[in-house]
Every structure is written in C-alpha cells, then in structure tokens.
Amino acid sequence: MDKWLTHPTALKIISVLLGVLLFAVVHIDPETTPQATVSSVDTQALEAVTIEPVGLDEEKYVLTAMEPTVVRIVVEGPISNLRKNSPADYVVQVDLTGVKPGLQELPLSLKLPRGIQEVELSPRKVTVQIEEIVNKTFEAQVITEGEPAEGYVAGTPAILSENGNTVQVTLPRDDMNKVGLVAVTMDVEGAEKSIENKKAKVVVYDTEGQEIPNAKVEPSTLHVETKVTRPFKLVPVQVRYSGSLSDDLSLVSVTPELDMVTVYAEQQLLDEITVYDGVVLDLSKVKQSGMIKVKTTPVDGIEAVNPGEIELAVIVEGTTTKTLANLPIKVIGADSGNTVELTSPASGTIDLVIGGAESVLKDVTAEDVAVIAKVDGLAPGVHTIPLELELPPYVQLVLEGGQSLSATVEITGGSVMSEGDEQQEDIEAGGATPTPPGESNEGGGNGGSEDGVPDVGAGNGSGNSTADGSLNEAKLAEDVRGGVATAA
C-alpha cells in the first residue's frame, strides 16, 4: 500500500481527484442540487361517471328508474397512461340480461383502459326498476285550437291517413293504464278557408291532460283537414222546373235522391232559409222515365251547396184527360158588410177538363180540386174576375173550345151588423158555408210552378207542401198552371 501511495502515477491520480472534489465544493450551489427521482405511478379520481345499462330486452321491457345514475371511481397507473385517457374511457355498467320486471339491486362492473387499475368504486351496486312494455291500439282524435275569422265557422275535422285514425301506442304497463287521450292538434285561428292535408304530430295525454313524453306512437303523424266555411244549415230540397214536357207526356213523380242538402250563407240569411229550391229540372230534356243528375245551384244569397249535384228519379207516362163536372166556385175575400152574389155562371158551378198521367188522374176527384174567386178589395158593383184553381200535384188544367176561366160577381153594400153577429166575408155560390180567407180547400194543392209543372218538396211530390206535408201558402200565391190556374 505504501508503495502504491508513493508511486508517482498514483500521486497524480489522487491529486486530480482531490482537485475535482475541491472544485465541486467551491462552485456547486446546494440550492440547485437535483431533487430525488419522481415516482412514475400516480392515482386519479373521477367523481361522476355515468352508469351504462346493458343486456336489457328492449322489445319486452324498459328501465324506468335507476338509483344512483353515476358513481365515483379512483384508479391508479402510470402517469402517462392516466393523462392520455379521457373520462369516457372508464366504463361502468349494470348487466340487465335476463332481469324480470320489478325493483331489484344489481352489482356494477368496471372496464378500465390498459395499464390502469381500480383503487375504489363507489357505490358497487345500483337499484333498478324494470317494467314490461305493452302495445295498445287507440283511435286518435283531432283537437282544434283558436277561432276562424269573423263570419266563418270550422266544421268537424277529419283524418285523411291511409289507416284512418287508428294508431298503436307503446308504453310501460303502468303508464299505459294512465292514458286518457291520443290526439293531434289543428290550429284554425283566423282561418278564412279550409285547412287541408295538414301533417300533425300524434300526442299521448294522461287522464289529467298532461303529455306522456316517453310514449312511442306508430304512425307518429297523421294527415288531417278541417273545413272552414260560412255558417251552414241542413234544409229540405224542393225541385223547380224549366221548359215543358212534350204534349204526349205527363209527370207521375219527381223524387230527389236526397231529402236534405247543406247550404252555406251568412248567419242572418241562414236563419231565414227554410227550404232550398235551387234544383231546377229542365222538362224539355225529359224523354222517358229514369235518373237525371241536376246541379245544386246557389240561389237567393246562398254562397254554396253541398253536395254540388243530386239525382232525381223522374217517372213519366202518356198524357190523358179527365172531366170533373159541377165543381162549386168559392168566393173569398169579401169586405166586411158587403154582400157578394155570383151572377155568372148562375149555377155557381163549373165543369173542368184536367190532364195528366193516367195513374195520377185515376185517383183525382172533385174533392181534390178547388175553384176560387177572389174579391179582395173590390168596391160595390158588377165585376168579372179570373178564377183560380187548386189542383193536385202533376195535374194541369185543359181549356177546350175557347173556354174562359172567369166569373161575374155583383157586390152590394150591406147593413151594419149588430155586435155579436158573425161577419160574412166569404160566400160560396148556392148558399154553402163560406170559406175563411187564406184557408186552403181540403185535399187541394197547387202542385205547379210558373211554367205549369208542379214544384216537388223533399220527397212528397208537392210544390205547395213542405217536407212535413204542411201547406206552403206563399207558393200557392205564386203558382198558376198545374196547381192554381188563372185565366181571364
């Protein structure tokens, strides 16, 4: 050892080492001395990782509740691994495979990235509520919201979809028991025309009127429409005529296929409409019995009619005639206190020839015809006045050999009648009981229009009768030939 220390080379080496140590002691700052080596492993906490349910048979069941829905995870691993993984790489699952309906507690499983280890999972179990899914068919309804423009009304909404208003609703069984209504909504606020083919979402409501948001509906939308129109009313049909039949034909009956039609008009006018007479049959086009389509034309302020046309069942036969003898002439309308005497014809009766179909005429008797002489407003004196006739439907007057349908009356002023005496206003020739003014003769009816063919009410075949068979006095005053005939 002494030899080694005294060796020149060894002394040089030792001197160099001592010099280096002395330099280090003098020049290196202890404050900057490197710290101890940092560990390469660390821990990380994730506070709210969402629990993912898996394995549930979603065609049969639904997860309606889970508590809790998030968990806390603490993991450990290399710092580099911890830094490169995001929270989405940490998967917490609850396996619902084969789980039956009900409330139950199940364990959680944790899937971690490579190189990461679990330190803590809290909680380790979760409580789930599983319910059975059921399907049920409902008929959807349409709910209208708002009001149409002033003067318009909204009709009954309709569903236009291929399967009508039928939809299938899928819900958990408990929720299905709460369903109160399945409907689509249509907004008609301010509308002035019909809303057509609108696509609307089907919504399921509970019994308290609240939407059930988790309901699945098939189909999810429906096509709907709502008519927005003027006010409307259902009224009976009355047929009018134009033209005339050929001389060898007469009407037996004209029957509309529909007794009633819908008319649209302003409400004030609609309140006054009691019958629709816009159906006009052109008799010149009738050559034989059969069905004839006629348009329902808007008349007298009516804006529209539904349907736009109807069919008439028209029956015609060959024309024949019949003579009614000794028909009494009724004088009506005499002023109070006046006496009226029928001077011509002196007998107070008249013979008439009527024409029409044989099947119609065979049942017509003298009691079905009224011959009327109106003296309303005539002053005392001698007057020749036209006679008016009340004839059954589809019966016409036939004038032969220059026959004049008129009568001569003499009106004289009478004495003032004592109180309580019955005032004589109407006189029937020959001393018969007078007929009060405006009273129609029993069994009579004009059944005619201005061109000599009767108007037809809603299925009853009489222009002087309404749909219920009551007498239409306004029409009596208008009709001339075929029901009430007037001649000079």
Query: SS3 for 87?
Result: helix
The answer to whether residues 339 and 427 belong to one domain is: yes
pLDDT score at 5: 60
Q: Is residue 51 part of a domain?
A: yes
Which of 95-104, 186-195, 248-257 is the least confident region?
A: 186-195
Is 52 a domain residue?
yes
3-state secondary structure of 141: strand
Q: Is residue 2 part of a domain?
A: no
78-106: average pLDDT: 91
Do 205 and 153 lie in a common domain? yes
- Tell me, what's the pLDDT at 274? 93
Same domain (yes/no): 303, 336: no
Residue 418 has pLDDT above 50, yes or no: no
What are the E-state strand segments in 112-268? 117-122, 125-139, 141-145, 153-154, 158-159, 166-172, 179-187, 195-201, 203-206, 216-218, 221-226, 228-229, 232-242, 249-256, 260-264
Model confidence at 399, in pLDDT bands (50, 70, 90)? confident
Residue pLDDT, tens place only, 30-74? 554 444 445 688 999 999 999 999 999 988 999 989 999 999 999
What CATH code is carried by the domain that includes residue 97? 2.170.120.30
Whether 62 and 188 share a structural domain: no
First-to-final CA distance of the chain: 177
Domain end (from 68, 100, 133): 133
Q: Verify that 435 and 329 share a domain, yes or no.
A: yes
Between 105 and 464, where is the model more confident? 105
Do 379 and 451 fall into the same domain?
yes
Say how many domains are in the chain: 4
State the pLDDT at residue 414.
60
462, 387: one domain? yes
Average pLDDT, integer, range 397-413: 87
Determine, yes or no, domain membership for 477.
yes
Q: Are residues 290 and 156 in the same domain?
A: no
Helical segments of 261-322, H only:
267-272
Q: Is residue 129 domain-shared with residue 150, that is, in the same domain?
A: no
Tell whether 164 is covered by a domain. yes
Choose one of 111, 133, 155: the last residue of a domain. Answer: 133
Task: Judge if pTM exceeds 0.75.
Answer: no
Q: Residue 348's domain spans which residues?
A: 319-415+423-487
Residues 325 and 465 in one domain: yes
Task: Please report the pLDDT score of residue 30 as a whole number.
Answer: 53
Write out pLDDT tens, residues 434-444. 333 333 333 33
Tell which of 173, 196, 229 closes a domain: 229
* Average pLDDT for the chain: 81
For position 307, which CATH number holds?
Answer: 2.170.120.40
Please indicate, yes or no, whether residues 64 and 145 belong to a single structural domain of this protein.
Answer: no
304/334 same-domain check: no
